[in-house]
């Protein structure tokens, strides 16, 4: 995965002869299933018993912080799409926050994202990759299973895949909650632990799936990607909660852009944070749609639209 990667490419995936995004089967993923199921069980059983306003405040603060710094900016816009450059120490810090979200390790996140991204650009792909099944089935698949393609592509994670810190996070992504749990226990006891870890992870992981499901099923569209079998939709009500990630139609149109909320009124806290980093001298080479004029050749308008700046 080169630092000079194509701003709209699927940068880690390597198409090999015969690879196919359609043929495959959905199988149980015990590690993620037990993790997600355990967080849900703790949320349903323990969270109501251990509620306090301090615990709820810890939940809100940590959910917003990890989703903004970690998932949106660290994982998605920096590590996966390389939509801006920053010092390595800052990148690693943001990726650590992304690991704290509790979805998985950074290398798994890259492979999972890029497989789906590549598959959705093909004329056809498996229902798992398109979120095409009814909501309950899709939720079961995404939170408790994985897709085993008969003829999968290969991956080359480059510098990121060789990074010893990221490899460490990949092996210990569940255990990364432990230091935070100790701090929360010292501050507010078991209530803060349950709300700051279990409820936060459950809401973040389930919310990520739920918004992703909607973003490929229904909602406003400005752009259509030519020849892509799966098109994206915006989910306006979730824009603030997802730090701007819910403008998913914009993202499919300009996947390498650091700015996802492209039009007036489209909230994008992730891009606002990147702008803050830029003003502080901690981010540079920030990619925007105005630097992707050739991208228009792969798009058609689903509504009246102009190329955003």
Query: What residues does each domain of the chain span?
Result: 13-18+53-177+202-301
Spatial separation of the C-alpha atoms in residues 34 and 277, rounded to whole Å: 37
* Ramachandran region, residue 248 (left: φ > 0; alpha: ψ -120 to 50; beta: rest): alpha
- The structure tokens listed for 121 are 């650009």
Helices (H), the chain: 30-45, 53-65, 88-100, 106-120, 127-130, 135-144, 158-162, 164-171, 177-193, 200-215, 248-253, 269-279
Query: Residue 131: its pLDDT value, please?
Result: 97
What does the mean pLDDT of the chain come to?
Answer: 94
Give mean pLDDT, residues 25-41: 98
Structural contact between residues 301 and 224, judged by C-beta atoms closer than 8 angstroms: yes
- The Cβ of residue 48 has, within 10 Å, a number of other Cβ atoms equal to 9
Q: Which residue has the tokens 């501050």?
A: 187
Long-range contacts of the stretch 41-48 (C-beta < 8 A, 24+): 42/194, 42/198, 42/199, 42/202, 43/194, 43/198, 43/199, 43/202, 43/203, 46/194, 46/198, 47/194, 47/195, 47/198, 47/199
Query: Residue 49: its pLDDT value, please?
Result: 98
The DSSP letter of residue 226 is T
User: What would the pLDDT profile of 42-65 be if each residue is shown by its tens digit?
Assistant: 999 999 999 999 999 999 999 999
Give mean pLDDT, residues 143-158: 97
User: What would the pLDDT profile of 237-266 be if each residue is shown by its tens digit?
Assistant: 999 999 999 999 999 999 999 999 999 999
Query: Residue 2: its pLDDT value, please?
Result: 43
Task: Determine whether 231 is exposed, middle or buried from the number of CB atoms within 10 Å of its CB (0-12, 13-18, 19+).
Answer: middle
């Amino acid at each position: 995965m080169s630092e000079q990667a194509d701003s709209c490419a699927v940068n880690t995936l390597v198409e090999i002869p015969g690879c196919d995004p359609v043929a495959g089967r959905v199988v149980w993923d015990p590690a993620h299933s037990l993790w997600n199921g355990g967080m849900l069980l703790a949320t349903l059983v323990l969270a109501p018993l251990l509620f306090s306003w301090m615990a709820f405040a810890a939940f809100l603060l940590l959910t917003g912080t990890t989703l903004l710094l970690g998932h949106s900016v660290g994982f998605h816009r920096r590590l996966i799409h390389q939509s801006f450059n920053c010092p390595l120490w800052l990148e690693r810090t943001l990726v650590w926050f992304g690991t704290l979200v509790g979805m998985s390790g950074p290398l798994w996140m890259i492979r999972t994202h890029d497989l789906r991204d590549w598959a959705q650009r093909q004329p056809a792909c498996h229902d798992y990759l398109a979120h095409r099944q009814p909501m309950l089935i899709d939720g079961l698949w995404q939170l408790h299973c994985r897709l085993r393609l008969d003829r999968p592509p290969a991956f080359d994670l480059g510098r990121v895949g060789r990074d010893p810190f990221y490899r460490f996070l990949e092996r210990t992504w569940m255990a990364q909650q432990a230091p935070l749990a100790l701090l929360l226990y010292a501050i507010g006891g078991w209530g803060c632990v349950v709300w700051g870890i279990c409820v936060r992870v459950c809401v973040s992981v389930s919310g990520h799936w739920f918004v992703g499901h909607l973003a490929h099923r229904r909602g406003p569209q400005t752009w259509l990607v030519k020849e892509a079998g799966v098109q994206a939709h915006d989910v306006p009500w979730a824009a603030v909660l997802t730090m701007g990630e819910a403008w998913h139609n914009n993202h499919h149109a300009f996947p390498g852009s650091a700015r996802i909320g492209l039009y007036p009124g489209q909230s994008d806290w992730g891009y606002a944070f990147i702008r803050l980093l830029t003003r502080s001298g901690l981010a540079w080479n920030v990619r925007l749609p105005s630097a992707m004029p050739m991208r228009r050749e792969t798009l058609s308008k689903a509504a009246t639209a102009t190329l955003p700046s």
